[in-house]
Structure 1
């Protein structure tokens, strides 16, 4: 008499017949004789319904004489009946995600195209999944996950208010307010002292409550915008027949039928379609449309969860569901507050901490000196005035530090979108009723309603404005409208035309920009900043120095690794005068340099930011107020997008000496720009 148990081996089900006397010697059987056999691809070639394997296992009686007796009785045999039950998938989740997320046609072809992927998932591009029973679908959910999205746990309003109080500079300010309150009560009595000093605490509480409630509302809107409904019905093919199921029931391997107005419920591959047009703005935040036409579906077969079908119809094969989709990963990464801790960020944190300590120490010293002076002064009104002035001095000294201390190096509270606008034509202007821009534009826009400052950003030499998409979105996510024109495709050494074109765009902003923005998003052109990278930095300085006339006034200027020509004496026209503090600029200036820009990448190309015409020389000619930052371990082009396509895009990786990756430098540049503009455009 033998006992039977079933064990899972890979994706096969095995029935194991065990002699009853094996329970206490070589094999320990628990939980009703459940034997789990762990093997990744065991018996992969088994195709028949039942096979048997005989294993020799000594019983307790025969084990003692194992060396003496070579024969084993039949009762000491274990018979394993291999039963093929559920299908086995020959492709894993990571490979499926890589193919779709990276739009990798090479990897897709290696697996035999869409038909090969379907076969690997035990599906059919025409019939869909053949097994429509609960066990088969559950098997797919177990292997590839369910089509549901987990909502990140948000912070409540009280938690956000408490976090706002966790600021050393704010605590010092409150301590000063407490001292002022004590002086007021002692000098003017309890009621009048509470009226004057208590107003400071009331103002602090009101401001912190407004900030916390705003953050709470933005966090809630963020979650609502990115969550995907799991109750809407979709049409799938199961066993060759159409069937309507809810979005949460969609499994990897399903063939889904899409029509106009449908939201793509999961990541997948296009099988066939008719003039399919998909709006990917909700997934890419670029506001772009992608065409998937049937005659070209082998060139662009990739579909993403959350996108919407605007034209045509199609059938798609599901490859990823739920949090494994591109949308799920975006939700997971953007909801996270943690940022990778790199050496550059560690140095930035130490620098910010040092500045805060110096500023706070200076404020304390000033307060003590002022306190000694007020003790010698018997005029109560003058003493109150001095204390209030001291509080204002402390607030101003720590304003820049407070702005940088906020998470300006990470993604901001706003969901940003990119808008591409073509340049003006006489016919287009007549049809639209307003003037299009004089040059093509890439515009970064916060998605929420509000009035936002504006930044005019000039690209580098022979670079496309699209190479700065991630930097533009980073700045826009912190509440700025970013205008990035494409000044030229080819250009010579003279930058005069670029300076004039930039001034022309600046003059167009007041009459044409608002017409391109969403109805509830307004541009505040009284808070206007100008920035440029590389040769674009030189152009920005040229406009700010009055080499072209603009109708609008710039309040802040940012040079991102600016370069004035290939070497000293060959500038056309020259911006640098090589006289210290000679720039007569009626605005605050920030210079951000790279440490590797003045080094050669190889013997074929000169340095991108050579000595004598780079960021050091620009800063030496700036007057106060001016800020200067250098990322020592990063290169001239390290603030560009992670993936710059085309011949020019590939050239950016070899023309200049680069750092280990672009993300830290891009976050550094974006964070400094946001902190700088917050203080000189929005105020502390």
Structure 2
């Protein structure tokens, strides 16, 4: 019996049995009463093959539709890339064949299609009227034209605070506001009780103290802001190696223009957005922009260099394409809050001042409570007698 079952129904398993084995098993069990009830929770074998055939047909149709859609998109994008870009008149009049916005879109989107449409890195070099070996030419009005078309390599800075802005900030101190309220009460009570000017001495003394504290604090903060501004401007005076007029020379990063050929080495900061020309073992740390700690390998297959990043290893020659607020670093700076952040020393000093103010306020409240209690007790004893 066991051999008979194994021979005829050995293919029947608890799961994933073949369709033929299931048919033989159901045919054998067809003698039971009400076979429909027996197999009501199992698959419909008569329709399984139809479902499989329909599934294969649908998958094939879906594959064809995806391929057709992909080909159509590539065709449309190819037409757009070749037909939509038109060189602006002012750019072509200046002797260039590509505008700043087009260069910015290539770098921002890491757009290989646009880059290849313009002829790759060599094509961008030609359209910027520069040379990989000789760099920019400084003769005539070449540099001024580039500045007019592509801008300068400077970032928009927030307007410096005036002295009166620091005076207004100093007036917002909680302790000074409490003293101002006390001065008002003292002036009102003194003038009512003792008349002018004898009753106003105490109140005017408090007002003079408040003004002295406000102007001393504002003057100190204003001078400190000027010193930090000078230090920041000194810190930003960075020189970079470029090739101009076929000579390698040092210039300020603020003088960089699209078309400059920059020489980058390990430890240098990328001064503007650009494209990799040649080099070896170039690793770029993009954590300042993306937050990613892993360095990015930049080469001819991935030629995009972003402003604000740092060269972690290797060296290269770079073609500057975008400068100033059109760079990725410039766009990031534009989105940041324009309010000036306090330095760590200011934070600590403000914390110490807040603690001292709270302690003084506590003792002032205690002193007021004790004096009030003594005054009330004295009045009570006088009324008793």
Question: When the two structures are superposed, what TM-score results if normalisation uses the length of structure 2?
Answer: 0.51
The answer to whether the aligner puts 1:298 opposite 2:301 as a matched pair is: yes
Q: May I ask how many residue pairs the two structures share in their alignment?
A: 261
Residue 448 of structure 1 corresponds to which residue in structure 2? Answer: 344
Contact conserved, 1:97 with 1:324, CA < 8 A, in 2? yes
Contact conserved, 1:149 with 1:228, CA < 8 A, in 2? no
CA distance in structure 1 between the aligned counterparts of 2:248 and 2:164, rounded to whole angstroms: 50
Are the structure 2 counterparts of residues 324 and 411 from structure 1 closer, same or farther at C-alpha, using a change threshold of 3 Å? closer
How far apart are 1:213 and its partner, in Å? 5.0
The answer to whether the aligner puts 1:255 opposite 2:261 as a matched pair is: yes
Contact conserved, 1:157 with 1:216, CA < 8 A, in 2? no
The CA RMSD over aligned residues, in Å, is 4.7
Are the structure 2 counterparts of residues 101 and 139 from structure 1 closer, same or farther at C-alpha, using a change threshold of 3 Å? same
How far apart are 1:255 and its partner, in Å? 1.2
Q: 2:341 aligns with which of 414, 418, 432?
A: 414
RCO comparison, higher one (Cα < 8 Å, 6+):
2
Are the structure 2 counterparts of residues 93 and 220 from structure 1 closer, same or farther at C-alpha, using a change threshold of 3 Å? farther
Q: Which has the higher helix share?
A: 2
SS in 2 for 1:133: coil
Are the structure 2 counterparts of residues 95 and 157 from structure 1 closer, same or farther at C-alpha, using a change threshold of 3 Å? same
Alignment of 1:225-304 (within 5 A): 225=232, 229=236, 232-238=238-244, 241-280=247-286, 284=289, 291-295=295-299, 298-299=301-302, 301-304=304-307
Are the structure 2 counterparts of residues 245 and 176 from structure 1 closer, same or farther at C-alpha, using a change threshold of 3 Å? closer
Are the structure 2 counterparts of residues 239 and 201 from structure 1 closer, same or farther at C-alpha, using a change threshold of 3 Å? closer
Alignment of 1:451-462 (within 5 A): none
How far apart are 1:143 and its partner, in Å? 1.7
SS in 2 for 1:271: strand
How far apart are 1:256 and its partner, in Å? 0.7
Contact conserved, 1:161 with 1:209, CA < 8 A, in 2? no
Q: Larger C-alpha radius of gyration, 1 or 2?
A: 2
Deviations 1:651-677, CA, capped at 9 Å, x for gaps: xxxxxxxxxxxxxxxxxxxxxxxxxxx
How far apart are 1:268 and its partner, in Å? 1.7
Alignment of 1:13-32 (within 5 A): none
SS in 2 for 1:134: coil
Contact conserved, 1:155 with 1:216, CA < 8 A, in 2? no
Residue 118 of structure 1 corresponds to which residue in structure 2? Answer: 125
Residue 92 of structure 1 corresponds to which residue in structure 2? Answer: 99
CA distance in structure 1 between the aligned counterparts of 2:340 and 2:108, rounded to whole angstroms: 25
Contact conserved, 2:275 with 2:320, CA < 8 A, in 1? yes
Residue 456 of structure 1 corresponds to which residue in structure 2? Answer: none
Contact conserved, 2:269 with 2:311, CA < 8 A, in 1? yes
CA distance in structure 2 between the aligned counterparts of 1:197 and 1:245, rounded to whole angstroms: 59
CA distance in structure 2 between the aligned counterparts of 1:277 and 1:226, rounded to whole angstroms: 29
Contact conserved, 1:160 with 1:216, CA < 8 A, in 2? no
How far apart are 1:94 and its partner, in Å? 1.6
Deviations 1:189-211, CA, capped at 9 Å, x for gaps: 86786346633663476368647
Structure 1's unaligned 5+ residue stretches are: 1-38, 45-85, 335-409, 416-446, 453-478, 481-523, 525-684
Contact conserved, 2:183 with 2:206, CA < 8 A, in 1? no
SS in 2 for 1:155: coil
CA distance in structure 2 between the aligned counterparts of 1:285 and 1:448, rounded to whole angstroms: 25
CA distance in structure 2 between the aligned counterparts of 1:331 and 1:121, rounded to whole angstroms: 26
CA distance in structure 1 between the aligned counterparts of 2:285 and 2:198, rounded to whole angstroms: 63
Question: When the two structures are superposed, what TM-score results if normalisation uses the length of structure 1?
Answer: 0.31
Are the structure 2 counterparts of residues 248 and 226 from structure 1 closer, same or farther at C-alpha, using a change threshold of 3 Å? closer
Alignment of 1:364-379 (within 5 A): none
How far apart are 1:257 and its partner, in Å? 0.8
Contact conserved, 2:186 with 2:200, CA < 8 A, in 1? no
Contact conserved, 2:153 with 2:324, CA < 8 A, in 1? yes
Residue 313 of structure 2 corresponds to which residue in structure 1? Answer: 311
The answer to whether the aligner puts 1:320 opposite 2:322 as a matched pair is: yes
CA distance in structure 1 between the aligned counterparts of 2:330 and 2:126, rounded to whole angstroms: 25
How far apart are 1:118 and its partner, in Å? 2.2
Deviations 1:143-179, CA, capped at 9 Å, x for gaps: 2123345654412323431476699xx9999577424
How far apart are 1:89 and its partner, in Å? 1.7
Residue 194 of structure 1 corresponds to which residue in structure 2? Answer: 201
Are the structure 2 counterparts of residues 260 and 173 from structure 1 closer, same or farther at C-alpha, using a change threshold of 3 Å? same
Contact conserved, 1:164 with 1:212, CA < 8 A, in 2? no
Are the structure 2 counterparts of residues 259 and 321 from structure 1 closer, same or farther at C-alpha, using a change threshold of 3 Å? same
Contact conserved, 2:184 with 2:203, CA < 8 A, in 1? no
Q: Which has the higher strand share?
A: 1
Structure 2's unaligned 5+ residue stretches are: 1-86, 356-385
CA distance in structure 2 between the aligned counterparts of 1:269 and 1:222, rounded to whole angstroms: 33
